[in-house]
């Protein structure tokens, strides 16, 4: 990497190299949540998401929408692991002039979602800040036999998504429904080999799944479900903020899911050997490399 340039992946790897954990950590940096030893039959899941004014929302975004999204992002991480959310901590940096009004609106949105998914908000922290900064830390749990990582995809698996992609940034990203119900249905009825949530764009998150699993992939343009909110197909590939599930199933399991009649899940491609890279097949049957162009903070 040229001097002076930095990427999000580079920074994460730089942090990861400095950290050494004990055997109670089943999965640390590198997945949607950390996975920790908890009980004989369950793992504990732990995740954190930060939202910053001017990056994740604008100064004009209603406080209730910020509160809703702040918790929804972490709930989506728990869903990606096949887990159930339990407890949340909320930390806020707020300008003094708008503190009371912001807190009232923020918690009306956050607590509405917390009640829906039976999440207990058990504390957090407050600080003065020139801009609004939000951090939600969420604890969940997963049955040991049902935990799903992004590192388990196998060659010949079928790739699927849980819904339409693209155009979320025009408003849906503030009020999306975390796919906890869909995740529970999948892990309770099928053998899911790998899964993550599409937060930064299909192209980038697919590359993360493939990197984590040591595989390649091919997806088909005509199979990718594009939202009516998307202005063009590239937004379905690269825009992000969709928070749909991207997952892989063995062929027989994928056939069974499709035959179940559950129309929310769409097959979009398959897992290939790593040396084949990640490709997309256009509607006119032309293959090209699928560049990871999704959103990155650095």
Q: What is the pLDDT of residue 262?
A: 85
Q: What is the CATH number of the domain that holds 169?
A: 3.90.650.10
162 shares its domain with 124: no
Mean pLDDT per segment of 10 residues, for the chain of length 298 residues? 64 89 94 97 98 94 98 98 98 95 98 98 97 98 98 98 96 96 98 97 97 98 97 96 98 96 93 98 96 80
166 shares its domain with 88: no
The number of beta carbons lying within 10 Å of the beta carbon of residue 65 is 17
Q: What is the pLDDT of residue 272?
A: 98
175 shares its domain with 282: yes
Look at residue 3 and tell me if it is in a domain: no
Q: What is the pLDDT of residue 78?
A: 98
Partner residues linked to 44 by β-bridges: 36, 141
Q: What is the pLDDT of residue 177?
A: 97
Last residue of a domain, one of 143, 178, 210: 143
Q: What is the pLDDT of residue 3?
A: 43
Q: Give the strand pairing for 84-94 and 120-128.
A: parallel
Which range of residues forms the domain containing residue 208?
A: 158-289
Q: What is the CATH number of the domain that holds 86?
A: 3.30.1330.10
187 shares its domain with 249: yes
28 shares its domain with 131: yes
Q: What is the pLDDT of residues 185-224, one digit of tens each?
A: 999 999 999 999 999 999 999 999 999 999 999 999 999 9
Look at residue 297 and tell me if it is in a domain: no
Look at residue 149 and tell me if it is in a domain: no
The residues, any chain, with a CB within 8 Å of residue 255's CB and separated by 6 or more, are none
Please tell me the pTM assigned to this model: 0.94
Look at residue 1 and tell me if it is in a domain: no
């Amino acid at each position: 990497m040229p001097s002076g340039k930095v990427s999000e992946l580079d920074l994460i790897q730089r942090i990861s190299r400095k950290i050494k954990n004990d055997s109670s950590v089943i999965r640390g940096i590198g997945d949607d949540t950390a996975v920790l030893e908890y009980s004989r039959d369950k793992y504990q899941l732990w995740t954190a998401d930060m939202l910053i004014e001017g990056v994740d929302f604008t100064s004009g975004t209603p406080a209730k929408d910020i509160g809703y999204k702040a918790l929804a992002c972490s709930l989506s991480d728990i869903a990606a692991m096949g887990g159930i959310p339990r407890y949340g901590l909320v930390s806020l940096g707020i300008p003094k002039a708008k503190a009371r009004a912001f807190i009232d609106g923020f918690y009306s949105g956050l607590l509405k979602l917390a009640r829906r998914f039976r999440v207990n908000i058990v504390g957090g922290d407050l600080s003065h800040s020139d801009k609004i900064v939000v951090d939600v830390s969420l604890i969940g749990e997963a049955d040991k036999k049902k935990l799903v990582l992004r590192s388990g995809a196998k060659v010949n698996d079928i790739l699927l998504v849980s819904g339409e992609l693209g155009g979320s940034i025009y408003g849906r990203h503030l009020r999306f429904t975390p796919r906890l119900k869909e995740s529970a249905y999948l892990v309770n009825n099928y053998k899911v080999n790998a899964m993550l949530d599409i937060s930064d764009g299909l192209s980038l998150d697919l590359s993360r799944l493939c990197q984590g699993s040591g595989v390649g992939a091919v997806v088909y343009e005509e199979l990718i479900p594009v939202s009516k909110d998307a202005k063009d197909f590239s937004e379905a590939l690269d825009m992000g903020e969709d928070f749909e599930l991207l997952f892989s199933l063995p062929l027989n399991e994928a056939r069974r899911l499709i035959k179940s009649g559950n129309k929310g899940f769409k097959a979009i491609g398959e897992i290939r050997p790593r040396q084949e890279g990640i490709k997309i097949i256009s509607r006119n049957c032309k293959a090209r490399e699928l560049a990871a162009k999704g959103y990155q903070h650095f």
